[in-house]
Each structure stands twice: as structure tokens, then as C-alpha cells.
Structure 1
Amino acid sequence: MILNDYPWLLLPYQQLADGIIQNRAHHAFLIRYVQGSGEDELIYKLASRLLCQASVNLEPCLNCHSCQLFLSRHHPDFYVISNELGKPSIGIDQVRNISSKIYEKSQQGGNKVIWVKYAASMTEAAANALLKTLEEPPENTYFILSDEHNSNLLPTIRSRCFSYFLPIPTLEQSMEWVKKQHSQPYSDNELACALLLSENAPLSAVALLAPEKWQQRKTFCENLLKLLPENDYWFLADTFEHEQFVERVIWFCALLSDALKAKQRAGRFIVNRDQVPLVRLLATLSNEKINALYDLWLQARRQLLSVTGLNKDLIIYNVLAQSELINCQ
């Protein structure tokens, strides 16, 4: 919770915590973010300040019993609702279980904080159950709902919350921060590429630049260079674990987008700055083929992320076969 390690979070935290000091904090925060921009760190700090029973300043005191419990991750008045392992959504029973507890007196005699992670993944029944609590919140109870900026949350839920978008740092600020996190000798092009692939979210870029992960991306690009001239997308089937396919979709779609930019002579906006030969090769395809490939792979990603019970291998094999058909047209 030391936000000095994440300098771009200092102002957002101040803006959100200012209402706590003035005793006018909204009972429900909706925090939208680009994944990997420090959202968890900010929310933990905000929850810590809401639960602190001694501080009158922006910072939690870190010394009172409530702070000590929070630091040990055992605070009885801090509840987290999130997707259960292996399930794509938050169910109504999870919301009901928390709702039954928050109407009781807080165990530490202070505030209660409920954090709903990936709030848009609530089923409609779960969202409606939460809505009833948001409309008539218990005393000294605060809700923090969080999700990615492009997720869909019921308008009725949004209307009950104070909405806040967590800004990301500039590309230059992010590059300076990322350089300090890695001892690997990455070029500026590679650093910029990792950040742009991560929507300029610094923590996501650092994860992508981990040596093993960065090598996986380079290998994927090398394989594309081999298969494209032969139109042999099936070659990809054995080059990575299928659980990693969603990640490959993001990488491939970024390359396809770059190919369209190259065709429009907009090279300065290219994301994959370290893969210019591959981008140029993709740019030899027609606009229609590039757009068809983009739509095909993106649709597969949506299926894999949102639909349960589908055979993931079949989805992937279908994408590879359809990709070859598109290139044959």
C-alpha cells in the first residue's frame, strides 16, 4: 500500500480519499481502470483509509488495531466479492452471503468495506440483489466496485455509485517507471511496444516484459513469419498451450491493426515497433482479408472468455482453419 512506488496513483488516491477526511465520502465507489494500472494497490489503500480508526489525514495511521488487522489481511469488516475459481461470474449467493453480514454491527466498531472485484461479471440476479443494498446501505458501510473501463455494468448499479476512472500515466512516464523495474537490456522500441500492447498500463507491461513471457511473444511472431507465406496456420496449433490462446489473440490483432496502419502510411502509430518485417508482410494482404482475420480472432476471444462449457480446442482449431480459408479467397 505504499503508493510512492506508483507515483501516478498519488493524485487519484488524494482525490478519492479527500471526501473521507471531510466526512462526505460517497457510500459506493465505482472505479474503472485499464488492467495493470495499479488498480488493486489503489483500492487496498482506499479500503485501508476507510477502515482506519485513528487517522484524520489522507494516510491511514497503520498503527491502530484496525490498520494492523488490515495489514495482516485478516480484517473482519473487509469483505471481497469476486469470481469463484473456475467460474466466469459472481452469483447471487455470494452477494446474499455478504449482504446478510453487513447489516450486523461491525466487529471492530468502525466502518465496513465491501469490495466487488470485476463487478460487471455479476449475474443479473446478483446485480439486482446488490442494488437493493446500494439503495438502502447500512450505516458506516462503504462499497467499492471495480472493473475494466470497457466492461458493461447495469445502468441501475452505475447510477448508485460515484464513478471514477483511474488515469494511466503518459507513455514517457510509464517507460521511465518500467525501466526501473527491469534489469533486462530492453530497447526503447521494445519498452514502448510492451506498454502499447498493455494499453499503457505499467504493471501489465512489466509482466509482459518478464523474460519468459517476452520470449513467448517473440517466438509467436517468428512462427507467424514462417507460416504466412505458406498459409499454414495449423502450424500454430502445436506451438503453445491452448490456455494461452487468448493472449495470442491480443498479439495477433495488434499486428493486424499495425498492418492496416502501414497500408495507410501511418507507421508512426504502429504498436509492434520491434516487429516491422512481420507487419510489412501482413500489410501485403488486402484490407478485406486483414479485417476478416481480425474479426475472426476477436470473436474467438469473446467466446473463450464469456462462454462456459465450450470445447476450447475446437474453437481454436476452427479459428486456424478459417484463417487459412480467408487467405485462400
Structure 2
Amino acid sequence: MILNDYPWLISPYQQFAEGIIHKKTHHALLINYVQGSGEDKFINMVANRLLCLSAQQLEPCSSCHSCKLFMSHHHPDFYVITNEQDKQSIGIDQIRKITTKVYEKSQQGGNKVIWIKHAALMTEAAANALLKTLEEPPENTYFILSDEHNSHLLPTIHSRCFSYFLSVPKLEYSIEWLKKRHSQQCSDNELASALLLSENAPLAALALLKPEKWQQRKAFCDHLLRVVPHNDYWQLAKTFENEEFIECIIWFCSLLSDALKAKQRAGRFIVNRDQVPLVRLLATKSNEKISALYELWLQARRLLLSVTGLNKELIVYNVLAQSEMISD
């Protein structure tokens, strides 16, 4: 099977393929996922099977003209919609354009598949424009809406779709998978930390473990070990570029959360298993200070992600200065 390199995807795919074979597939699928769990590979496989003209089995045949077009990324009945470059939303014009297309005859004589990636980015007007088509879908037309598990779609869209959560494998299983895929020597604690920081998504963990990225995290943690005892957070400004600050926020908030777990004697639940000395150091602070630092850094992340035109450098310096005030 094409998905053999991602064995946790095989069973979910087989469920969908069985539905396709027996013509029981819902015309609108809403697939939620943890980013980095192989979601694009899974959805492409489902779309390929829906478009295949010859397959009688679970897998697409890979040899019919439709499959060859799909594999060359030129299938005329497969449409992928997402936010356009430099835009943060999927607009109504994009949806209107595609809903016009779906009422046309299939160019290959089979199904038509429309994949709306990051579906929660649809504006309300765009979602409402799609709603009518979902209510009265054209024949042999399938919609796949996908987004992360913590995203929010309009309830009216949600109610007209068959919802499915693409689950991630168990931690122990993923550690074994990473050992086979990751070329660098890493301890089980390092592999587990990468997975837990990635919500157990194997592909996201593999990306985090790339030498440059993993070294960046290690350098950040090493700097924390030096600056926390002296309350000298300002020194962190020298360790990363502004673009990297959001990742550092995620890492630091995770460490602060682990420190609170350690204080509650819940160490078996910590995420940063390769940074136990740093977690213990942070746990010497009071619950109030740890919580205040967590809220401060998390608020900075919200600002950096949601507000355009901000002076990012100023936000970074403000967070570091306030961190020193909280830790006094």
C-alpha cells in the first residue's frame, strides 16, 4: 500500500475506501487532524480513490488515465482551495468560482473532488456561499473540508458534513517509527519530547528533530538555564531572530507548564523529558510567578499571530522586560 510508510494512516484510509467501494461515502467530509500527522497524504489518497476510474479494491489502481493525471498533479476534476498568498482568509469569490465549476460535467467522466484546505479560514460570506452547494450537491461530486482539530467552522457547515478526526498514533509506537526515520542518534527522552511538543504528530516531530531546529531549541533551553537564576531574561534577545520568537514562546510555555506539573508531583506527565534540570529550576519559582510568566508569553504569541503591522521587535523586548519584573 502507498501508505505503508505511514502505518497509522492505513486503517483510517481503509474505512473510507470501504465506503467508496460500497457507494456509501458522504458527499461532504470534514476531516480534522493534528498538524504533522500525515493529513495531506491521507486526504490525497482518499481523493485519488474517489477519482480512480478502474479500481475495484481499496487502493486506487495507479494505472488508469485518471490516476496518472492525479499523480502528475494535473487532474481536471480535482480542485484544491485554500487561502491565497498574502491573504489570511478564503474569500467568497474563491467559493463562487468553484461552485460554478462543480455544476459542469466531469472532464474525465467520473467523480469531481473539491478539497478546501484550512476550511476554517473561510469568511462567513464564503462559508454561506458554500452552504447552498452542500445542501444540494451536484451528482458525483465530493467535498473534503480539512482543518486542525482546534479550528472552528460555522455550525451550519459542520452540520452538513460527515466529521472525522484523524487520530495520531500512541507515543510508544511513534517513538519506534521515529527511530527508523530519524538519521541522528537521539535518546528515547529526546524522541518523546519532540513528539509531545508536536501533539504526538510523527511528521511534525520529525521536522522538529532536524538538526538545525533541534539545536535551536537546545540553545534556547541552555540560555534559559543561565538567565533564569539571575533573572536576566534580556540576554535571551541575543539568542534568536524575531521570526523565531513564536517557536520560543511555545517551548517556554511548555517548560513553564511542566514546572507546574513538577510542583504538583505530576512529573510523569511532563513534556520536556530531555530538559528535567531546567524544569526543576523553573519549579523553584512560586505558582503565581510561573502562571504570570505563562500568561505573559502566551499573550505575546496571540498578538504576534493575530495582529498585523505590529512592531515585533518591540513586543519581544517588552516580554523580556516584563519577565524580569515578574521574576523579581
TM bracket (short chain): over 0.9
The CA distance in 2 between the partners of 1:314 and 1:97, in whole Å, is 41
What is the aligned partner in structure 1 of residue 42 from structure 2?
Answer: 42
Aligned length: 328
- Counterpart contact for 1:120–1:147, Cα < 8 Å: yes
What is the aligned partner in structure 2 of residue 321 from structure 1?
Answer: 321
What is the aligned partner in structure 1 of residue 139 from structure 2?
Answer: 139
Listed one character per residue, the Cα deviations across residues 133-188 of structure 1 (whole Å, up to 9, x for unaligned) are: 21121111111111111111111111010000011111111001000001211011
The CA distance in 1 between the partners of 2:31 and 2:199, in whole Å, is 17
SS at match of 1:145: strand
- Counterpart contact for 1:92–1:129, Cα < 8 Å: yes
After TM superposition, list the pairs within 5 Å mapping 1:208-227 onto structure 2: 208-227=208-227
What is the aligned partner in structure 1 of residue 195 from structure 2?
Answer: 195
TM-score, normalised by the number of residues in structure 1: 0.96
SS at match of 2:114: strand
What is the aligned partner in structure 2 of residue 92 from structure 1?
Answer: 92
Residue 227 (structure 1) shift: 1.5
- Counterpart contact for 1:30–1:162, Cα < 8 Å: yes
SS at match of 1:183: coil
Amino acid paired to 2:254: A
Q: 1:94 to 1:318 in 2, by over 3 A?
A: farther
What is the aligned partner in structure 1 of residue 233 from structure 2?
Answer: 233
Q: Which moved more, 1:94-103 or 1:107-116?
A: 94-103
Mapped pair 1:248 → 2:253? no
SS at match of 2:143: strand
What is the aligned partner in structure 2 of residue 266 from structure 1?
Answer: 266
SS at match of 2:228: helix
Q: 1:137 to 1:309 in 2, by over 3 A?
A: farther
What is the aligned partner in structure 2 of residue 74 from structure 1?
Answer: 74
Amino acid paired to 2:106: S
Amino acid paired to 1:271: V
The CA distance in 2 between the partners of 1:57 and 1:316, in whole Å, is 55
Unaligned segments of structure 1, at least 5 residues: none
Mapped pair 1:122 → 2:122? yes
Unaligned segments of structure 2, at least 5 residues: none
What is the aligned partner in structure 2 of residue 57 from structure 1?
Answer: 57
SS at match of 1:55: coil
- Counterpart contact for 1:225–1:278, Cα < 8 Å: yes
What is the aligned partner in structure 1 of residue 32 from structure 2?
Answer: 32
SS at match of 2:31: strand
- Counterpart contact for 1:32–1:165, Cα < 8 Å: yes
TM-score, normalised by the number of residues in structure 2: 0.97
Amino acid paired to 1:321: A
Amino acid paired to 1:127: A
What is the aligned partner in structure 1 of residue 286 from structure 2?
Answer: 286
SS at match of 1:230: coil
Amino acid paired to 2:4: N
Amino acid paired to 1:169: P
What is the aligned partner in structure 1 of residue 156 from structure 2?
Answer: 156
- Counterpart contact for 1:88–1:306, Cα < 8 Å: no
Structure 1 stretches of at least 4 aligned residues deviating more than 3 Å after TM superposition: none
Please report the RMSD computed on the Cα atoms of aligned residues, expressed in angstroms: 1.3
